[in-house]
Chains A and B, each alone.
Chain A
Amino acid sequence: MEAGFYFFEQIFNSAIFYFALVVMASYIFLCFFSALEMKAYMRKNSFIDYREILVSPFAPSVSILAPAYNEEATIVDNVKSIMSLHYSNFEIIIINDGSKDHSLEKLIHAYQLEKVDFCVNEQLNHQPIRGIYKSRNSSYAKLIVIDKENGGKSDALNAGINVSSKDLLLCIDVDCIVEQDALLKLVKPYLEEKKRVIATGGVVRIANSCEVEDGRLVKVHMPKNIISRFQVLEYIRAFLMGRMAWSRLNGLLIISGAMGLFDKEIVIKCGGYSHETVGEDMELVVRMRRYMHDHNLKYQVVYIPDPLCWTESPVDFKILGRQRNRWTRGTIETLWTHRDLFFNPKYSILGMLSYPYWLFFEWLAPILEGIGIITFILLASFGKINWEFSLILFTMVYTFSILLSTIAVLFEERSYHQYTSGKDVLKLLLLAFIEPVVYHPLTIYWSIKGNIDKFTGKKNWGTMTRAGFTSNQKNKLEPSSAQNLKTKQEQSA
């Protein structure tokens, strides 16, 4: 018995320890590649004049697709903000996904819309369209509004793709604040990469506590809410370190659902957004990549480090938990759907590196961490813990987490430097000390909960409560201003 216990302890200790080492080494590699990619990008684009794209007749045409569900509080201002994007050749398609409020009526009234006989090219499946609206005012000629039965985000985007008449698709969340030159920057990789670019994404940042004026972000502040602050650090780490590195390796598996630019031809050939997953953004990118491999077409998925999109983050643990739960389920669904990619040399980086990385480090790592914590408690209760060694191991993980977050802040400082005040930077750096012991265990819990929900058959999107923001006057985006709270609830069809 004692020998068996010893054997188990040795194996368990070694396996977990070396797994942790591999995870940490992978993060160091990602930091390295990300630094290379960011440096190359900043060098290359430091003297670019994006106005050349703005005025060129040869700039690619873009359809902006923005699904909306119960957005009456902000929809008119959001559309106004999208219409003011700096680009010439684009159309805006707002998809009212069966809202139960007065989103559609507000749009009709604000933009002088009327129903038109729009003939839709039904290439992708979606819930029935009730009507398509265009403005009788030529100032709003770029705007198309689709009113359809509720079917969820993927369904709405598929309807938008069918209506789209342009070459590229910019899929955004309607309540995000998009930087005015976002399209110019996102389009550029399509013009300059030697391989065919099938998707580009930009960095998504947290807009809580930032100053917003007429649907535009005018001043960046560190969120006052601690939960949002944790997410600021998390987003900087994920976007500036993770995704930039994967972009360098051409191994990106996800373009954020908040904003991504896609090659329409490939999206349609792949069958559009899947209705079968709550992680439709990741699933689409994986499917597009697969398609390119299956047809022996050279391609690239590009991420750019510019902060192009600002989103409001959840401000309480309950809502944040739901969001993370959904992300976990989306990851599992995508990984399961494309399980044949696992170490499949036919798919090169995708099969040999990206997929295994996501499987082991994004999906499995939180589960192992959870198991580790439970085992630790059990061993402690049996008096089988060497407390000194445990403290050393814990300190190793803790100091490594702090180092990673500190590197992320360094990247932010060396690149776009959004938080100009020294106080804000200090806050971020100090947050790095608290995050591993306060926020990280929660993300583990939500991830494990997501796994349980997935395997017990939960399928819905969950409820997202957001504050939204009013326009026409300068205001700070504060979730505490509860007078315009709105509730979003999307259910998969």
Chain B
Amino acid sequence: MLLSVSVGEYLKSLFFDRLPFFPDNIRISLFIIMFCLIATIEIYLYVFLKKAKNKRDNYLNANWKEKISNMLSNIIIYGDEDDGLENVVNHFLPRFKKLPLKRKRVRNILIEEIRIYHSNFTGFTADVLKELFIKLELHKYTLEKLKSNYWEIQIEGIREIAQFWLYEYDQLVFALTDHEHEIVRMEAQTAHVRLNRDNPFKFLDHMRGRILPWHQLILFEIITKAKYVKIPSFVKWLGSRNDSVVIFCLKLIGYYQQLDALAEIVKLLKHPQEEIRKMSVWVIGKMEAEFVEEELLKIYPKETQKVKLEILSALGKISSGNYLSFLKDCLLTPDFEIKMGATKAILGHGRKGKLMLQELQSVVSAKNSQIIAHVLDARI
């Protein structure tokens, strides 16, 4: 007791009475000590209060989630298609309306649960869930989310519209395809592809900025996995000034094997961007466009290493046999990767290529012979 009183007295004299008489460094030190102590205590309080709050939130969320999940399960179990969509929804609706939907926590859990259930079901059950979502007027909150100042909330809204196929709000989503935030843009574009049946790729006409590879990857997956997307001829965007649009369209042309685009793709072999030339060669190889082989050989000598390797790969895929001697000559270059690429291209010619490699193995240099052995080994 005495000690604490004396420590208190000492600190009081230190911080109040003697402070002005200390040298600068000691005064600064005392200030830092005070700051650190207060900040540390605040962080302690924050950590433990937050922990307690999270515990309470988790408990409440789990309770509501269980209740709502049970209610939705009942729809799935007892909702009979023979009763008709309207009857089933009207039967279950009153119970859902009893939920305190004005409370944000309950509303958000309900929206999330319906969304998850909807994404896991198709057909009648999915239709019932969508109808329930609309009859509970939850879509109004979705539309509010689109107007939010926070981009992550806007994304939630976009995702809900796409998830429930709310076609009537496609124009609102389309407006966001030119949003200044790139992630909102991306989400809106992917949603637009799902929602718009007439012109799902309209956003490519006015693409703001680069479509990042991540964005391309997501869009590619959405487009190629969606069932009802109207696939246009992507050739019309090959002339775009936006290089990333051209690359993205080349990927889709390759995937959908749009042979009518080949003439335009050949023109792209002279494009100043290496990445576009490389992707064009990749598409040519994927489409096994034999008539472009000569063009590929023409550009080969002046091309960069990456494009050269892609050309060799394309020749292997086309495997017409017309340029085997060229591929054989590539073994004479000092570049290891070119040699390896050419050898693989020869092997791409099937039995004929394999025989050629076996013959070559005994006449070429030791290093080239090793490369051939490597390529011929199926385990590698």
Contact = CB atoms under 8 A, between A and B. Distances in A.
Contacts of A52: 217-218, 221
A396 B217 contact: no
Contact of A191 (B28, B51, B214): B214
B337 interface: yes
Given A53-B217, A116-B379, A403 B25 contact: no
Interface string B150-164: 001001100100000
A192 B371 CA distance: 36
A118 B340 CA distance: 12
A53 B46 CA distance: 37
The listed residue with most A CB atoms (<10 A of its CB), out of B218, B377, B380, is B380
Interface in B9-49: 23, 25-26, 28-30, 32-33, 36-37, 39-40, 43-44, 46-48
A117 B380 CA distance: 9
A308 interface: no
A258 to B, nearest CB: 26
Contacts of B29: 392-393, 395-396
Classify chain B's interface size: 35 or more
B60 interface: no
B47 A425 contact: yes
B40 A118 contact: no
A119 B371 contact: yes
Contacts of A402: 36, 40
Contacts of A422: 48, 51
Contacts of A24: 32
Main secondary structure of the interface of A (DSSP, over half): helix
B155 A47 contact: yes
Contacts, number: 114
B160 to A, nearest CB: 12
B204 interface: no
A368 interface: no
B50 interface: yes
Given A24-B32, A399-B32, A410 B46 contact: yes
Interface string A182-211: 000000101110100000000000000000
Interface string B47-79: 110110000000000000000000000000000
A47 B380 contact: no
Interface in B193-234: 210, 212-218, 220-221
Interface string A386-426: 00010011011001101100110110011000000010010
B183 interface: yes
Contacts of B336: 121, 123
Nearest to A404: B36
Interface of A: 13-14, 17, 21, 24, 43-44, 46-47, 52-53, 55-56, 58-59, 114, 116-119, 121, 123, 134-136, 188, 190-192, 194, 389, 392-393, 395-396, 399-400, 402-403, 406-407, 409-410, 413-414, 422, 425, 429
8 contacts: A17-B28, A59-B217, A119-B340, A135-B379, A399-B33, A399-B40, A406-B40, A425-B51
Given A413-B50, A413-B51, A425-B47, 4 more contacts: A55-B221, A58-B220, A395-B33, A402-B36
